Amino acid sequence: MAHQHSSGGGYEAFAATAAEYGVDVRRVSPEEAEAAIEGAVDQPAVGALLPWDGVALPAAVTTDPTPAELSAATTGVTAASLAIADYGSVVLRADEHGSEPISLFTDHHVAVLHEDDIVPDMPAAFDWFGETLRESRDSAIIATGPSATADMGALVQGAHGPKTVEVLVVA
């Protein structure tokens, strides 16, 4: 991920807003990342390859899962391409490693983010989306907190998607 985004103070702002949605955010060094991911997952866990050199998934996270493994998994670990500080959102880009189903079918989603990819606000995010989506014709989700519904008479976290979300920010 070659993009560099302005990041002065972005982490604190992002972490504070994400916390309002019940998202647990932690900053880790590249060396600590693998152990931090291992600590964040509840087994069984599935994941998609992370795009950064020197940041690897622990062996306990199954990559290229089968549908059966996906169904059985409690945790899904995927990379976030971007985070939007104002909204506490992470951007989840669909890819051939199955990031979209892995982040969606599991009860607990662990998103791994590079601190350089935190942008301050929605206009900055949409500059990135415009360029990226026109060029790649990819798909991406702006995900804020866990899935939720109020359709059953009260707000419930954990509708069709994850019930809990955790973000590890690699700095």
Partner 1 sequence: MSSDTPTGGTARESKAEHIRQLLATEGDAVAANTRGFNAGRYESVAKLDEYEALKDEARAIKADAIERLPELIDAVAEAVEENGGAVYIAEDAADANRYISEVCEEADADRLVKSKSMTSEEIEVNEHLQARGVDVVETDLGEGVLQIADEAPSHIVAPAIHKSRAEIAALFNEYFDPEEPLETAEELTLFARERLGEQIKEADVGMTGANFVTADSGTIALVTSEGNARKTVTVPDTHVAVAGVAKIVPTVEDLQPFVELIGRSGTGQDITSYISLFTPPINSPTVEFDDPETPIGGAGEDRDFHLVLLDNGRLAMREDEDLRETLYCIRCSACANTCANFQSVGGHAFGGETYSGGIATGWEAGVHGLDSAAEFNDLCTGCSRCVEACPVGIDIPWINTVVRDRINDGHEGEFEFLVDGLSPDVETSGPDLQKRLFGNFETLARVGSAFAPVSNWLANADPAAALLERVAGVARERDLPAFQRTTLVEWVESRDRIPPADPDRKVVLYPDLYTNYIDVERGKAAVRTLEALGVEVVVPSVPGSGRAPLSQGMIDTARAKAEAVAGDLDPYVEAGYDVVVVEPSDLAMFREDYRHLLPEERFEALADNSFEVIEYVYGLLEDGGDLAALDHATGEETVAYHSHCQQRTLGLDTYSVAVLERCGYGVRTTDAECCGMAGSFGYKHQYYDLAMDVGESLAAEVRAADADHVVASGTSCTDQLDDLLGDRPAHVVELIAPEGEQSVLSATSRHTGDGNR
The footprint of partner 1 (CB under 8 A) covers: 64-68, 70-71, 87, 89, 94-101, 104-105, 122-123, 125-127, 129-130, 133-134, 136-156, 158-162
> How far apart are CB 116 and partner 1 at their closest, in Å?
21
Nearest to 140 by CA among 89, 91, 82: 91
Nearer to partner 1, 104 or 168 (CB): 104
Q: For residue 76, give the DSSP letter.
A: E
> How far apart are CB 101 and partner 1 at their closest, in Å?
5
> How far apart are CB 163 and partner 1 at their closest, in Å?
10
Cβ atoms 93, 81 nearer than 8 A: yes
Nearer to partner 1, 53 or 160 (CB): 160
> How far apart are CB 30 and partner 1 at their closest, in Å?
27
Nearer to partner 1, 113 or 170 (CB): 113
Q: Which long-range contacts (CB under 8 A, 24 or more apart) does 157-163 make?
A: 157/22, 158/107, 160/104, 161/104, 161/109, 162/76, 162/103, 162/104, 162/106, 162/107, 162/108, 162/109, 163/107, 163/108
> How far apart are CB 166 and partner 1 at their closest, in Å?
15
Nearer to partner 1, 60 or 141 (CB): 141
Nearer to partner 1, 60 or 94 (CB): 94
What length is written for the chain?
A: 171
Give the C-alpha separation, 45 to 63, whole Å. Answer: 9
Nearest to 151 by CA among 143, 142, 160: 160
Q: What are phi and psi of 121, to 5 degrees?
A: -150, 180
